[in-house]
């Protein structure tokens, strides 16, 4: 079976991730197939909208496939990862700015790369099983694929909290935090997809929606109190068990840079392009100067869950954060990369 199915179904372009054994983790080839499909359908009058979905019981897309990035990086080839991220981010921008309606069906795990393809579109559908997260700090990255932009737009300090801890949002939380638009019980998804493919009417999504579950995060006042300062303050303040575990396990450099990244984008009232460009500043440096290789080793290769980070939390300096997020000059992510 191919890892992705791209076809026209009625008046809809339909993209289905079909890599269930890997929870639909996004490979470079899958990302490029999505971009080609969007390019092919952009001026095709027979395609009125696009449907994004995953053919996997447990996940829409549980993240990006970083195993090859790790292998190349360990061998000293950092440029392969930079090319991967540069091309993936171009695709993310095309998804976000696509001229035709795009409807994403976000069931099960939607993490990292899954957020990049599913959470920037105009019509984002969640259900009972949805669990959406940006857990990059746990592997030595920052929330990327445009995820930092969504975090910057979340209410209050929820963006900082979600970015640093990788907390998994359920459907109610995802709607409240701006990662999803509507709740449609999964039992009604097949009928909704059939209507979209037959009619091309994206308003069918709103007609099928029901009230989402209440958001627990909307009532968590302690998040605003704990996540309004630097990393040292966050670590000293948090008492909630899940958050305590997350800030103890994450890369200190990644967590500190995530706080800065989210706040910069919020202050800029940024759009997708500047957000991706700023994310790329970090990811382009993440192998040579950050914790990415060690984070992947501990989480996905050796699976010992015992990463040896470059810093203790109290050791990350403002200068180091500034350096990781500094402009890249001619190596920057350029607008023409996704034009």
Please list the active-site residues.
64, 113, 136, 144
Provide Rg for the chain, Cα atoms: 19
Instruction: Report angle CA 196, 11, 100 to the nearest 5 degrees.
Output: 80
Distance, CA of 246 to CA of 239 (rounded, Å): 11
Task: Specify burial of residue 314 (Cβ count, 10 A radius: 0-12, 13-18, 19+).
Answer: exposed
Distance, CA of 133 to CA of 59 (rounded, Å): 12
Distance, CA of 115 to CA of 246 (rounded, Å): 20
Q: Which of 176, 182, 140 is nearest to 159 (CA)?
A: 176
H or E element: which one contains 12? Answer: strand 12-17
Check if the beta carbon of residue 80 is closer than 8 Å to that of residue 72: yes
Distance, CA of 225 to CA of 264 (rounded, Å): 19
Q: Give the CA count within 13 Å in the CB-facing half-sphere of 270.
A: 24
> What strands, in cross-sheet order, belong to the sheet with 102-106?
4-9, 12-17, 49-54, 102-106, 123-126, 182-183
């Amino acid at each position: 079976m191919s890892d992705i199915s791209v076809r026209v179904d009625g008046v809809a372009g339909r993209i289905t991730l079909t890599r269930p054994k890997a929870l639909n983790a996004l490979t470079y080839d899958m990302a490029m197939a999505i971009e080609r499909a969007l390019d092919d359908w952009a001026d095709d009058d027979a395609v009125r909208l696009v449907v994004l979905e995953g053919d996997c019981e447990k996940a829409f897309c549980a993240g990006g496939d970083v195993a090859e990035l790790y292998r190349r990086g360990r061998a000293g080839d950092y440029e392969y990862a930079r090319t991967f991220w540069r091309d993936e981010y171009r695709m993310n921008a095309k998804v976000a700015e696509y001229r035709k309606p795009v409807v994403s069906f976000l069931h099960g795990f939607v993490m990292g790369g899954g957020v990049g393809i599913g959470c920037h579109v105009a019509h984002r559908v969640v259900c009972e099983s949805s669990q959406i997260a940006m857990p990059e700090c746990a592997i030595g990255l920052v929330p990327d694929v445009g995820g930092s932009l969504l975090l910057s737009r979340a209410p209050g300090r929820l963006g900082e909290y979600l970015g640093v801890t990788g907390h998994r949002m359920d459907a109610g939380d995802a709607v409240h935090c701006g990662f999803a638009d509507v709740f449609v019980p999964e039992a009604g998804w097949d009928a909704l997809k059939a209507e979209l493919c037959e009619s091309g009417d994206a308003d069918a999504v709103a007609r099928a929606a029901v009230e989402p579950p209440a958001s627990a995060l909307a009532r968590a006042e302690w998040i605003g109190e704990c996540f309004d300062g630097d990393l040292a303050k966050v670590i000293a303040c948090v008492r909630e068990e899940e958050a305590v575990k997350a800030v103890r396990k994450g890369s200190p450099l990644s967590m500190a840079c995530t706080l800065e990244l989210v706040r910069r984008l919020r202050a800029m009232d940024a759009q997708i392009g500047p957000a991706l460009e700023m994310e790329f500043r970090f990811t382009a440096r993440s192998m040579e100067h950050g914790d990415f290789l060690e984070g992947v080793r501990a989480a996905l290769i050796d699976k010992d869950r015992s990463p040896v980070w470059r810093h203790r939390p109290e050791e990350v300096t403002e200068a180091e954060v500034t350096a990781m997020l500094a402009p890249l000059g001619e190596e920057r992510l350029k607008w023409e990369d996704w034009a």
